[in-house]
């Protein structure tokens, strides 16, 4: 799964937008769809696909390579964090918890280790990756299934991240992306509601929005149909995967259309009251780099898009949307990563930056 630096510090190459396939067309459709094949040709992916929902409700689909389909179910990795954060903020809006609550208040004794004290780490710090908790996937490498408590124990055995004093009241820490933060939030959701984060996301988000291709598979290794194949960086087939390698930090299975619909609804104000949506988009605690389950990217034309990406063995996906949710793009490849890091920001700029001759 991605580090914060990988997520947020990718260089933008405008030259990629001036490929012969794209330079002669003024439409964002032609531009973004011209970049897509480069994810296969230069990015090393067996196949790639994108789905765009624009401000007028029109939908565009494009694909490159073989073995990928519009309706495919795929693993979405850390996009899971946006759903978990939404559930936590809904609970805050219902006054069932406060973002200033410490982890200790809800999960007594859970976070005690060298340099880590749950009495000083708030839910806000977990949501914004400013807790200082180490990332359990540094040990498991996203391939070993673990329970949430095992994931926490692994993290506590590692040195805490350099976030100053983790969770110091009133002091924002340096952001340090850690999957452990969202595993702990999953445990908080269960403690507060009596139901798992997956059950809460199903009844609060998935069912109301009609996300029929989206699910939390638990320990089920197979993907629902229809689906293509998923390949690791070394080319091995990893379509079968135990989702407990990620849990609340990256378990989600979904589709391109469902992610577009989810981000449009979230940023369009359908899932959170205005105050709590503003909280979600507030990046001050993480020095402008991360909100709560969302992060902003400012494109060369000055437009800022919001969303998340997800990397898990055999799958990389990225959703990005305008701040009002009226234009949303989701693209995916059926492997772990894109070899050329310039391609993702190039594709986003091609879609969201207006172009003229």
Q: Which residues are catalytic?
A: 78
Distances (CA, A) of 339 to 44, 68, 228, 267: 6, 19, 21, 30
What does the alpha-carbon distance between residue 247 and residue 29 come to, in Å, rounded to a whole number?
35
Residues 6+ apart with CB under 8 A from 37: 21, 48, 64
Q: Residues 132, 311, 44, 306: is their CA dihedral positive or negative?
A: negative
Non-local (6+) Cβ contacts of 160 within 8 A are 113, 114, 115, 116, 132, 133, 134, 166
CA distances from 302 to 25, 284, 322, 328, 354 (A): 21, 19, 12, 17, 11
Q: Label the pairing between strands 304-312 and 295-298.
A: antiparallel
10 vs 7: CA distance, rounded Å? 7
Give the residue among 76, 121, 127 at the shortest CA–CA distance from 101: 121
């Amino acid at each position: 799964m991605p580090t914060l630096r990988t997520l947020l510090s990718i260089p933008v190459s405008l030259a990629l937008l001036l490929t012969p396939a794209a330079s002669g067309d003024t439409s964002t459709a032609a531009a973004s769809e011209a970049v897509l094949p480069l994810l296969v040709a230069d990015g090393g992916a067996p196949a790639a696909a994108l789905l765009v929902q624009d401000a007028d409700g029109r939908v565009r689909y494009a694909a490159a390579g073989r073995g990928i389909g519009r309706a495919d179910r795929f693993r979405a990795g850390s996009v899971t964090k946006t759903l978990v954060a939404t559930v936590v903020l809904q609970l805050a809006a219902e006054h069932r918890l406060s973002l200033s609550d410490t982890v200790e208040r809800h999960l007594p004794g859970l976070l005690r280790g060298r340099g880590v004290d749950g009495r000083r780490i708030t839910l806000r710090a977990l949501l914004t990756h400013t807790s200082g908790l180490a990332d359990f996937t540094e040990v498991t490498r996203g391939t070993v299934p673990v329970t949430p408590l095992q994931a926490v124990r692994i993290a506590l055995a590692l040195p805490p991240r350099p976030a100053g004093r983790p969770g110091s009241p009133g002091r924002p820490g340096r952001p340090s992306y850690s999957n452990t933060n969202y595993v702990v939030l999953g445990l908080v959701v269960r403690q507060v509601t009596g139901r798992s984060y997956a059950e809460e996301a199903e009844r609060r988000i998935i069912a109301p929005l009609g996300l029929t291709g989206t699910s939390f598979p638990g320990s089920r290794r197979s993907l629902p149909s229809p689906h293509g194949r998923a390949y690791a960086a070394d080319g091995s087939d990893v379509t079968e995967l135990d989702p407990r390698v990620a849990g609340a930090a990256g378990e989600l299975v979904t589709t391109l259309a469902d992610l577009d619909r989810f981000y449009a609804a979230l940023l369009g104000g359908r899932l959170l009251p205005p105050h709590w949506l503003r909280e979600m988009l507030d990046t001050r605690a993480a020095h402008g780099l991360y909100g709560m389950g969302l992060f902003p990217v400012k494109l060369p034309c000055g437009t800022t898009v919001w969303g998340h990406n997800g990397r898990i063995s055999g799958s990389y996906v990225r959703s990005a949307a305008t701040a009002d949710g009226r234009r949303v793009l989701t693209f995916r490849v059926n492997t772990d990563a894109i070899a050329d890091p310039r391609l993702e920001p190039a594709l986003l700029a091609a879609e969201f930056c207006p172009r003229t001759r």
